[in-house]
Amino acid sequence: FVETPLLKPPGLLFCYRGAVRMIGLFVAALLLLLVGTLVGVMLWLFFLRGG
């Protein structure tokens, strides 16, 4: 009976979910930044070549 709470602590599950959510948001922000940079560079090269 003593070992059961040690195997499944509820705090660890919430911590894991929070970490996964934070990592997901971080990766999404990085992807948005990368896509925005690529689009900006492509537009800049397009206008530079056109002008």
What does the pLDDT read at residue 46? 93
What does the pLDDT read at residue 28? 97
CA–CA gap between residue 48 and residue 51 (Å, rounded) = 5
Convert the pLDDT of each residue in 12-38 to its tens digit.
777 788 889 999 999 999 999 999 999
AA identity, residue 19: A
**3 state SS of 37:** helix
Sign of CA dihedral 25, 31, 33, 36: negative
What does the pLDDT read at residue 24? 94
Is 49 a residue whose pLDDT tops 70? yes
What does the pLDDT read at residue 10? 66
**3 state SS of 8:** coil
